[in-house]
């Protein structure tokens, strides 16, 4: 039996009935397979797929039905102004993380020669966005995982961000580049018994899970920020939607000022910030 673009997508949507983005997933996977875009699919709904192409499409849909995220199947994810390479060594960049970038850009001068570090960079998403929007900044993308750093370096080179450096390290343990104007981080913040981990089984657990109810890395980075931030420098965290209060307490107990939690578009607490006291 031959399948057109339209009938193949209809078949896939039925297989993906449990997904709230079934049609989008199907279109993204078929467009990827055919090396086309979604507009092409909509323009040529009666195009006949070869038997080989439909068999390959079935295999991709099976992976999605089994729970593998579309971004991992495609090996890429759109974020900010980029199409980023992703791998099993990195988290998938999510729209909520753009709140971190938006706040960071509000605090960083457009033409300033500032120094910024993104801790736990993964794909390099946050560091790349800041480096691209603030070309006068020096931005370090730090991650403990060599595999994740290789992905970040690939993405950095693709967009020729020469004011960004990928560096291996455990947070700021071996930091040697002087005081910083800003530290941003989307660190592990999920408790090891959190039921949501089941839905994230394909993503690297080391980038997700932290001790002390998910707060241990946030606490550790805050202690280092006290040392390495310039007076007046900013610390910006992404965290779980129920962690706004405890994260604010961690920053306040470490002497940070102007501590505040920012909500995402769904009204959930997502980002907490603080400013190191001036001398």
* Domains of the chain by residue range: 3-67, 88-275
Q: What is the pLDDT of residues 264-274, one digit of tens each?
A: 888 999 999 99
pTM of the model: 0.91
Other CB atoms within 10 A of residue 262 CB: 16
Which residue in 131, 109, 106, 108 sits closest to 118, CA to CA? 131
Domain 3-67 -> CATH class: mainly alpha
Q: Which CATH number fits domain 88-275: 3.40.50.970, 3.90.550.10, 3.40.50.150, 3.40.190.80?
A: 3.40.50.150
Scanning 35-97, the segments in alpha helix (DSSP H) are 38-43, 51-65, 70-74
φ and ψ of 49, to 5 deg: -85, 145
Exposure string for 29-41, b = 16+ CB within 10 A, e = fewer: bbbbbbeeeeeeb
List of residues 6+ apart from 33 with CB closer than 8 A = 53, 56, 57, 60
Angle at the Cα of 147 (from 241 to 90), degrees rounded to 5?
25
Residues 61-78 have a mean pLDDT of 94
Grouping H, G, I as helix, E, B as strand and the rest as coil, residue 25 is helix
3-state secondary structure 219-260: HHHHHHHHHHEEEEEEEEEECCCCCHHHHHHHHHHCCCEEEE
Q: What's the whole-number average pLDDT of the chain?
A: 93
Q: What is the pLDDT of residues 231-251, one digit of tens each?
A: 999 999 999 999 999 999 999
Cβ atoms of 238 and 96 closer than 8 Å:
yes
């Amino acid at each position: 039996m031959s399948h057109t673009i339209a009938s193949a997508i209809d078949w896939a949507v039925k297989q993906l009935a449990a997904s709230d983005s079934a049609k989008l997933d199907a279109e993204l996977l078929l467009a990827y397979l055919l090396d086309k875009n979604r507009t092409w699919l909509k323009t040529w709904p009666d195009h006949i797929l070869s038997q080989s192409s439909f068999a390959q499409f079935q295999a991709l849909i099976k992976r999605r039905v089994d729970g593998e995220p579309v971004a991992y199947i495609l090996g890429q994810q759109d974020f900010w102004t980029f199409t980023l390479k992703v791998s099993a060594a990195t988290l998938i960049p999510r729209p909520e993380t753009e709140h971190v970038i938006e706040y960071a850009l509000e605090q960083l001068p457009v033409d300033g020669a500032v120094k910024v570090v993104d801790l736990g960079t993964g794909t390099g998403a946050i560091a790349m966005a800041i480096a691209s929007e603030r070309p006068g900044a020096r931005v370090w993308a730090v991650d403990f995982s060599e595999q994740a750093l290789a992905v970040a370096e690939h993405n950095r080179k693709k967009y020729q961000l020469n004011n960004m450096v990928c560096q291996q390290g455990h947070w700021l343990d071996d930091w040697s580049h002087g005081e910083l104007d800003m530290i941003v981080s989307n660190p592990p913040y999920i408790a090891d018994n959190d039921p949501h981990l089941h839905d994230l089984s394909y993503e690297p657990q080391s980038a997700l899970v932290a001790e002390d109810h998910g707060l241990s890395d946030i606490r550790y980075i805050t202690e280092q920020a006290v040392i390495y931030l310039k007076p007046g420098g900013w610390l910006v965290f992404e965290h779980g939607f129920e962690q706004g209060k405890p994260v604010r307490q961690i920053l306040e107990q470490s002497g940070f000022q102007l501590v505040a939690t920012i909500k995402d578009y769904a009204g959930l607490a997502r980002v907490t910030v603080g400013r190191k006291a001036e001398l």
